[in-house]
């Protein structure tokens, strides 16, 4: 009998037996701590998919295909093989392979050509399906010391309607470890439904934590108005106080979750509540005008899929997938967009549109601005291509001088630690990590239970450098071992648009020159994403887009040695226009020997907000204005023979609604074509400031 064991975060959740054409299993009953009787694992069984993104039945039945592929590459001394079902595998080491070109890969660990384990990393978790007896060949070896402590069983959840300070009640599920007494709590606050994905939180209860999962205000079974970000500081504060007052609570709370579930952590922390002892912050959303929905004062059209998802009382993922996004994005005024696209209004979207400038509505949701002197030990996780990456930038800026933090920044999308090939960027076989959940638990054990496990003595920053495909460590973020690298926009007048002939130089041009382009809001440049995927910062090849006459390109000469930049960048642009308002979009790309121009970072700004977000400063036609734009962060090595490119344009369709170059901006019915001019050299030395690793 060949037994395979399924683990998530070091905990055994299922025992499987494989025969030639059948898989049987004994899943764990978390409420009794016992394994159920043997039964066939059918197509309809979703236990392992819900827990660990693994289709265990399919994987085990395809075992001969994997081993045939391994035999083939070993015989041919090749690097890759493809299974009959189209799965692509690349050798990582003598005894391991990674799965390419897929979200939630199933990696292989082998011994003498035989597969002994399958591993799927995803965001801050990792699932392992391992042949019995080979556990030490996997990340499970790291879990040995933690697993010496017996696991608790999970009591069936109890639902409470928890009253906030204004008497609005929020639906709250409580999961407790049986017989544990007073315990610390892991709090999850979600707009997507407190009963969605609950299996992923059993691991905390089994290790001696209470888990509290709450529908945020106005969502699912909770009362009140659903206005994203507006109530989360106060509601988070009240919920923490409620938890601390419960007879099963020892008073200490950590929060966990990603995206909006990351946002609510920082909002709760902004309240200064003393019961919040730790945070597991993953791809957290930031303040409205720095991150979403009004990044740089523009309006993120790319977040419409999310807005549709949460447009009703209950989250509906089916509303995100459309084939008519191009038509939807062109609806004006935007107040009519939801009624025409969905057949009903979205109240929070309508309210957002009625507040053009940064006012009280947006200020209430700005956790960074509302945070006082208090700090909470935070494990901060994100990726270079996370569409909420600016939120993590704000968190890192806020906690720059705070010692009780750890940051892990990978080459990941918003979906996190889940793909070796985000967009068109092929990463190294080391790009994904199997230890994220181990680090998360260590953080909780240290800051909630006082365990001296050394997590506080590990490097403050761990980050991945694309291009050279290396994981690195640093004593802080931003990485101290960097220096300023300034690249000036240069070249002959108009070359940047006419032939992509603009230059980037380290010397400031003596004489003033300029490049101009015609920006027509009815023919915007495109931001290369699939709206339905709800991933807004995908790295992609922009070479074709850069051939447009309204995209200015400034490029270094071919590099004679590798160049590594780490951190975010600031574009300091001198702009004039014949319109009162327009947008600026800046991208940093890596141009390889074949001419591919891969986007690494970007920044956007509605120019009326070049001085402040709470008050527009419209342009006088023909006057030159200095404009600063902060980009997303990245660590990337531009290899010898490659070139670094900076592009400037005024639109990014799919990402932001095109500015129509009027005082009504992105929501204007009237349209103006803008003649925009970028000035450079002399007293108008437009430049980009980066951080180069030393």
pLDDT digits (tens, 9 = 90+) for 661-683: 999 999 999 999 999 999 999 99
CB-based burial label for 436 (10 Å; 0-12, 13-18, 19+):
buried
Distance (Å, rounded) from C-alpha 499 to C-alpha 491?
11
Looking at residue 20, its pLDDT comes to 80
Query: Is residue 609 predicted with pLDDT exceeding 80?
Result: yes
Confidence of residue 424 (pLDDT cuts 50, 70, 90): confident
Q: Which residue has the higher pLDDT, 208 or 144?
A: 208
Sequence-distant (6+) residues with CB within 8 A of 89 are: 66, 69, 80, 81, 82, 83, 97, 98, 99, 100, 108
* 628-647 pLDDT, tens digit each: 999 999 999 999 999 999 99
Looking at residue 499, its pLDDT comes to 64
What's the whole-number mean pLDDT along residues 354-383? 97
On whether the CB atoms of residues 377 and 279 are closer than 8 A, the answer is yes
Q: Which helix (H) or strand (E) holds 329?
A: helix 325-329
Given the residues 254, 259, 516, 635, select the one marked as catalytic.
259
Asked about 238 being catalytic, the answer comes back as: no
Given the residues 107, 235, 386, 602, select the one marked as catalytic.
386
Q: What is the pTM of this model?
A: 0.96
* 483-514 pLDDT, tens digit each: 999 999 998 766 666 567 899 999 999 999 99
What the block records as the tokens of 134 is 């080979």
Looking at residue 1, its pLDDT comes to 73
Asked about 414 being catalytic, the answer comes back as: yes
Mean pLDDT of the chain: 97
Q: Which residue has the higher pLDDT, 146 or 692?
A: 692
Asked about 386 being catalytic, the answer comes back as: yes
What the block records as the tokens of 348 is 């929070």
Q: Which is nearest to 651 in space by CA: 599, 604, 601?
A: 604
Given the residues 25, 414, 527, 642, select the one marked as catalytic.
414
Query: Is residue 254 predicted with pLDDT exceeding 80?
Result: yes
Residue 655 DSSP class: T
Residue 370 DSSP class: H
Looking at residue 644, its pLDDT comes to 98
Distance from chain centroid for Cα 78 = 34
Query: Is residue 184 predicted with pLDDT exceeding 90?
Result: yes
* 289-329 pLDDT, tens digit each: 999 999 999 999 999 999 999 999 999 999 999 999 999 99
* 97-134 pLDDT, tens digit each: 999 999 999 999 999 999 999 999 999 999 999 999 99
């Amino acid at each position: 009998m060949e037994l395979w064991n399924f683990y998530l975060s070091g905990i055994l959740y299922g025992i499987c037996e494989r025969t030639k054409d059948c898989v049987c299993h004994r899943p764990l009953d978390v409420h009794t701590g016992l394994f159920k009787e043997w039964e066939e694992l059918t197509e309809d069984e979703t236990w392992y998919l819900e827990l660990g993104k693994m289709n265990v039945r399919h994987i085990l039945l395809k075992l001969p295909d994997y081993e045939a592929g391994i035999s083939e590459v070993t015989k041919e001394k090749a690097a890759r093989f493809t299974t009959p079902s189209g799965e692509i595998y690349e050798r990582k080491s003598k005894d391991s392979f990674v799965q390419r070109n897929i979200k939630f890969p199933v990696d292989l660990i082998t011994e003498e050509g035989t597969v002994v384990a399958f591993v799927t990393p995803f965001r801050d978790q990792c699932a392992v399906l391992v042949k019995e007896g080979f556990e030490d060949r996997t990340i499970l070896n790291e879990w040995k010391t933690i697993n010496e402590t017996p696991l608790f069983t999970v009591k069936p959840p109890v639902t409470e309607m928890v009253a906030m300070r204004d008497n609005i009640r929020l639906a709250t599920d409580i999961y407790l470890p049986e017989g544990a007494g007073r315990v610390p709590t892991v709090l999850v606050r979600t707009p997507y439904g407190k009963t969605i994905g609950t299996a992923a939180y059993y691991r905390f209860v089994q290790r001696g934590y209470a888990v509290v999962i709450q529908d945020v205000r106005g969502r699912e079974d909770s009362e009140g108005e659903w206005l994203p970000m507006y109530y989360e500081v106060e509601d988070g504060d009240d919920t923490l106080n409620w938890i601390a007052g419960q007879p099963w609570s020892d008073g200490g709370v950590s929060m966990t979750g990603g995206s909006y579930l990351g946002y609510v952590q920082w909002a709760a922390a902004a309240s200064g509540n003393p019961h919040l002892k730790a945070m597991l912050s993953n791809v957290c959303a930031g303040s409205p005008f720095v991150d979403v929905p009004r990044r740089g004062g523009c309006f993120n059209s790319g977040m419409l899929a999310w807005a549709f998802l949460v447009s009703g009382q209950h989250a509906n993922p089916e509303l995100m997938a459309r084939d008519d996004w191009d038509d939807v994005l062109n609806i004006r005024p935007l107040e009519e967009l939801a009624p025409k696209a969905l057949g009903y209004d979205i109240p929070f979207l309508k309210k957002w549109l009625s507040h053009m400038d940064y006012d009280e509505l947006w200020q209430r949701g700005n956790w960074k601005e509302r945070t006082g002197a208090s700090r909470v030990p935070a494990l901060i996780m994100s990726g270079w291509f996370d569409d909420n990456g600016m939120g993590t930038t704000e968190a890192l800026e806020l906690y720059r001088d705070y010692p009780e933090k750890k940051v892990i920044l990978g080459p990941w999308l918003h979906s996190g630690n889940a793909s070796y090939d985000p967009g068109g960027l092929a990463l190294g076989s080391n790009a994904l990590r199997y230890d994220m959940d181990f680090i998360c638990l260590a953080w909780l054990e240290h800051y909630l239970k006082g365990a001296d496990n050394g997590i506080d003595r590990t490097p403050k920053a761990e980050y991945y450098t694309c291009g050279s495909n290396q994981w690195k460590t640093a004593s802080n973020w931003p990485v101290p071992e960097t220096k300023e690298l300034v690249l000036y926009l240069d070249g002959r007048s108009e070359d940047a648009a006419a032939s992509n002939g603009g230059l980037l130089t380290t010397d400031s041009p003596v004489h003033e020159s300029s490049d101009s382009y015609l920006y027509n809001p009815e023919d915007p440049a495109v931001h290369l994403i699939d709206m339905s995927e709800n991933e807004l910062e995908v790295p992609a090849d922009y070479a074709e887009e850069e051939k447009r006459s309204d995209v200015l390109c400034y490029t270094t000469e071919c590099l004679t040695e590798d160049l590594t930049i780490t951190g975010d960048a600031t574009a300091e642009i001198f702009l004039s226009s014949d319109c009162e308002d327009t947008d600026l979009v800046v991208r940093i790309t890596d141009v390889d020997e074949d001419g591919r121009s891969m986007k690494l970072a970007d920044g956007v700004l509605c120019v009326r907000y070049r001085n402040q977000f709470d008050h527009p400063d419209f342009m006088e036609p023909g006057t030159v204005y200095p404009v600063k734009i902060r980009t997303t962060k990245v660590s990337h090595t531009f290899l010898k023979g490659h070139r670094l490119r900076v592009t400037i344009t005024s639109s990014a369709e799919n990402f932001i609604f095109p500015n129509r170059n009027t005082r009504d901006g992105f929501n204007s019915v009237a349209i103006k074509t803008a003649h925009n001019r970028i000035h450079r050299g002399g007293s108008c030395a437009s430049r980009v400031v980066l951080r180069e690793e030393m």
